[in-house]
Amino acid sequence: MSSPSKPTTARDDDSNTPAGGLVVFAAVMLLISGVLNILRGIMGIAKDGVFVSTPNYIFKFDLTSWGWIHLVLGVVAIAAGLGLFRLALWARILGIVAAALLIVANFLSIPYYPLWSITVMAAAAFVIWGLCVIRRDRGTHAG
């Protein structure tokens, strides 16, 4: 009699690919968030009239400061997103840190651009989730 063997599924085959599943999702979301934050930063630096004026906001920065903050965070997010396609550990750590900083920066800038800030915060939260649930031993399966 032959010993029972575990059937091979598409998911098992995908687990050995360089960047699959949640890593690709997190990388793409970081790239998109990074590009959009760079554009938002450029808008802030250029003093575009797109932003809402909030007179008595406790975390008030001038628009140029917010622009530079978003520009730098966008560049960091893009770097982490590109590194995730190679499954680099530094990119995973940087991705989590960048997404956390994007959440904080967008939370603080809600009065300037409310709907977009909340949207980016949600995307960054999914990135953190995607990067935190990946098992380190993806190629091995219990059972």
138: in domain:
no
> Does 41 map to a domain?
yes
How much is the pLDDT for 15?
Answer: 47
Residue-number span of the structural domain to which 41 is assigned: 18-49+60-132
pLDDT band at 27 (very low <50, low <70, confident <90, very high): very high
Mean pLDDT of the chain: 79
Q: Return the minimum-mean-pLDDT range out of 69-73, 88-92, 133-137.
A: 133-137
The answer to whether position 95 is within a domain reads: yes
Give pLDDT, residue 142.
39
Q: 12 lies in a domain? A: no
Closest Cα partner for 126 from 29, 33, 10, 14? 29
Q: Do the domain assignments include residue 113?
A: yes
Q: For the chain, what is the domain count?
A: 1
| Structure-token match 């989590």, residue found | 96
**CB contact at 8 A, 83 and 47:** no
> Is residue 137 one of the residues assigned to a domain?
no
Asked if residue 76 is part of any domain, the answer here is: yes
Residues 66-78, buried b or exposed e (16+ Cβ, 10 A)? bbebbbebbebbb
Instruction: Give the model confidence (pLDDT) of 29-80 as tens digits.
Output: 999 999 988 998 998 888 766 666 666 766 667 778 888 998 999 999 999 9
Is the model's pLDDT at 97 over the cut of 80? yes
pLDDT for residue 9: 45
pTM over 0.85: no
